[in-house]
Structure 1
Amino acid sequence: MASFRINFNVNLRCPSDTPRLSSTCQLLPLQSQCSPCPALSLSNSIPSNTLNPKKISLPNSRPSSCVAVRSHMATEEKPVSEDRMLVFVPPHPLIKHWVSVLRNEQTPCPIFRNAMAELGRLLMYEASRDWLPTVQGEIQSPMGVASVEFIDPREPVAVIPILRAGLALAEHASSILPATKTYHLGISRNEETLQPTVYLSKLPEKFPEDSRVFVVDPMLATGGTIVAALNLLKELGLQNKQIKVICAVSAPPALQKLSEQFPGLHVYTGIIDPTVNEKGFIIPGLGDAGDRSYGT
């Protein structure tokens, strides 16, 4: 049976009580259930077909915080500490399909934008599992009284697409979430310095205490844009555990920054690619998501 190897290009410490492997951690395809991988040495690359339905812990440079990568296909999960950032790569064939469509350089803009919207719909569906507030009651069905459970419409989920590519990924949010509010956030990246600049913010002055927020950004490459966005949200009173990041493709530099600065954050991504080039683009990635979505 083939095995897959996951490596990162950063050097992190494992907790002292974590048994160590040699130089890499082999992840075998899922059989009867998932089990955590004891340790992971982080070196150079992650294959483009990365992450079978397994859970692995990726300790970062701070002993008190680490990031775990896992999927939803586990039949048995061990409790995960709230001081860990979690990265979810749902092993759904439709997610793999739409990522493949996005990667193809021959995909025209309308199909690319539709693929981005479909991928966003699937990732938000996975991210909302066991996270949405509900109300229970009884209703009269045509055949009798039934106990029912609805999503609580009094607590809408805030969806924050980072312009402009985030608009495409968040396009179908309202089709799967019964109650949403959308707040636009425009952040541009200097192509020379790769530093982010906020040029538009439609965020509220303060979020309600129990808010649940999706931050939608297709590409997590160097991490500058998403870190700037999350810092803005923290200034408005949100805690890391109230936020879930939705992205099409992510890379180790961004995930490393998030794990160091936002323990407890959850990230849902279609795939993790191995590296970022000198211009800040994910390799192999899918190019400029905004340009390819809107043809400009």
Structure 2
Amino acid sequence: MRFLVVFLLMLSCVFDSKGAIIDPAIPAPSLVPTPSNFRYEENNGSLRIMWNWYPNDGVITLPPKLPPPAELFSVPREGNYKYSIDVEIAELSNNNIYSMLSNDYRLLGSTISNSYLYNMAVFSAVKFRVRAKRTDTFTDSSVYSAYLYSPLINRQVKLSAPSISPDGGNVIPTDNIIITNAQQAVMKYALIPLESDCSSVNNWLTYVAPLSINSSRQLCVFATKIGSLSSDIKEAVYTVSSPANTKQIIFIHTDLLGSPVAESQGEQ
């Protein structure tokens, strides 16, 4: 009876070419290793995605030699293989979320580098997946690795510069200078001497109410918001005149006796 049990167990096993038992619960190693360590960086609206896959100064090299299946090849032929990375993307546009909800990936292209540059000018959020491909140049057949998936990457939109009213020119100390931005951003400002440069400002103030100035100054403003790129700095130059130096309108008329009388604007 013991011999029968052992015999039945042996019939249920799978053996390799050397007679060792192969556990069917453990998947066989892939001929093409999967990329790892996905990462990315954003620069002026472009997104560079990166990963690790047999790196050698950023260029993919051949992996260690692995024997091909005996039923397909009589001898290993690593010299007849070429390798690349397929880069695929799922995009979430500002007006259409269907592609992201359906997890619909499309092929962006293939590369032999460990990075890929993508322009995010249209889409507000994206996901990537990459996989390695080994192509047999003799048969033109390809074998793929498993996918390496990226997290959801939200695009950092650059804010537009704030609007300033009045946008420079002559003002008096009682005039209000109003700063606005349509993107519900926080607006930062600084009042600096005319000969100074906005790019050198270190101490920015948060705009909360209309401004007034008592001397000729330069106003520097920009918009900022969490999750977005800050706007460019906008500048406005103001020349301040005191009320005593402003031009007066003179009214000349005659009194009841016919004598000329001169009055300035504001007099009763």
Give the TM-score range, shorter chain.
Answer: under 0.3
Structure having the higher Rg: 2
Structure possessing the higher relative contact order (Cα contacts under 8 Å, 6 or more residues apart): 1
More strand by share: 2
Q: TM-score, normalised by structure 2?
A: 0.20
Q: TM-score, normalised by structure 1?
A: 0.19
